[in-house]
Amino acid sequence: MGGENDALMQSQTRNEDALEFVNNKERVQLAELHKTMLAHHHEYKQEVKKEAEHRSGGYRAHLTKHKDVVTGVTTSNVRQEKMRKTARELEHEYRSILEMMVSKPQLGNEYQPPTEMLSEVEEVFDVIAQQLDVEKDASQKEIEDANAAIKVCNDNKDHEYTKDGGVNAKEAVSDSARDAHKACRGEENTLICAAKTSCDAFNAQKKCGHEQNWYAKLKDPSVPTKETLLLQKVITQGTDCRNRLITEHAKARVCDTKQGEFENKFCTYANFLQDTSDAYDLCYGNENHTRYNVVEPAVKELERDGKLILKMVKKVKCYITTLKNVQYTSELPMQKDIDACTNLEPVVTELDIDYITPEPKAILDMSNIEHWPSNPDNGWADDEYGTGHFQDDCKSTSASPVPAFQAALHPQKLKEVVACTAMDARKV
């Protein structure tokens, strides 16, 4: 495009003599206006290029450069304003030519520029229109790129969920540990009930106040005794009670380990999910800000200014077409021809930008880590362990108290939890 402009500027210079087509006393200085228009357009192109490079180099990653980007847009707009002013002057000059031809028909076509020169001028404006279209495509891409940056935030968030070792995987590990702990406590409850039944049977026997023969019979079955309950049976019941207590307490320790594993796995999952959510909020917030507070305002300004310039270009070309028709028909223009161009409201929808709505921000479900293992408890232990499955057993719900030496290993079981220190630190 730069090469085309240079060629056109050289062609414009070669036609300066032709442009000064009116006598020296009343000539219209179109040559200088055309050269000025090309110069402003060249400056504007350079400013737009510089602005685009500045944007691609930083504003998405470093929002602190926002001020510099805005400054660049302002400079570009100054160039556009100069182009608009020159285009208005060109419009005025071409309209003046037609008006002089209408008001002074006796001069014939003295004010008629050479057809070759008009064709050269039309090419100048064709180049400007083409460049505006190119800039429109660049602006459209800015919107699409900004939307794509938002999509990257969503894609990265999705990847954090689905990747190996991601949110979904860590949640599955936590859920599996939860299930293992719950199943273990169910097995513990079964053993607690079995131990209580056995120990209750032992406790219920009258084991004292017997005469000597009752004890001697353990070693000599021939010793007569009045009691139907044998010492051997009491010993067997006591042994069974003791063994069941040992098994029950061993299971309790296994379940305590599984409880700790579950709480650690939940802490890992909760912390990773919170990290993912925080990173996503930051990413989406930054890119959404860039999309709506940096890119879109700049693009809208470029779109508005580009349309204003294109409207002026189309109006000037209307006057040029009227002047060329004079050359083709050898008939002077009529006032209605001038009015048609003056009243023309050019359609510039070809420069419309589609402000495509970016992907919406996903709402992450954080409800399952609203609470987490903490010390003091923030509600998590009640959520996880507040049911009868964890808090009630045959010994704790029995109407008759269990002797301390036959109690469950943890009378206040499931109250001590592993604290998620990373999660606690976030909320300080």
| Tens-place pLDDT, residues 170-180 | 999 999 999 99
pLDDT at 80 exceeding the cut of 80: no
Q: What share of the chain has pLDDT > 90, as a percent?
A: 37
Span 89-111, mean pLDDT? 68
* pLDDT tens-digit readout, 304-323: 988 988 988 888 888 888 87
Confidence of residue 222 (pLDDT cuts 50, 70, 90): confident
Location of structure tokens 């999309």:
291
pLDDT at 19 exceeding the cut of 70: no
Q: Lowest mean pLDDT: which of 125-129, 239-243, 345-349, 370-374?
A: 125-129
Q: Lowest mean pLDDT: which of 21-25, 91-95, 247-251?
A: 21-25
Residue 172 has a pLDDT of 98
pLDDT at 358 exceeding the cut of 80: yes
Each domain of the chain, given as residue ranges in start order, spans: 2-163+287-351, 167-279+365-426
Residue 381 has a pLDDT of 87
Helix axes 30-58, 115-162, angle to 10 degrees: 10
Span 409-413, mean pLDDT? 65
CA distance 218 to 409: 33
CA distance 84 to 316: 12
Confidence of residue 354 (pLDDT cuts 50, 70, 90): very high
CA distance 108 to 115: 16
Taken in order 182, 187, 191, 194, the sign of the CA dihedral is positive
Residue 27 has a pLDDT of 40
Residue 338 has a pLDDT of 81
Span 2-11, mean pLDDT? 48
* pLDDT tens-digit readout, 248-306: 999 999 999 999 999 999 999 999 999 999 999 999 999 999 999 999 999 998 899 88
Location of structure tokens 């001020």:
67
Confidence of residue 334 (pLDDT cuts 50, 70, 90): confident
Q: Locate the DSSP E strands across 336-376.
A: none
Residue 24 has a pLDDT of 35
Q: Which residue has the higher pLDDT, 106 or 210?
A: 210
CA distance 295 to 286: 12
pLDDT at 79 exceeding the cut of 70: no
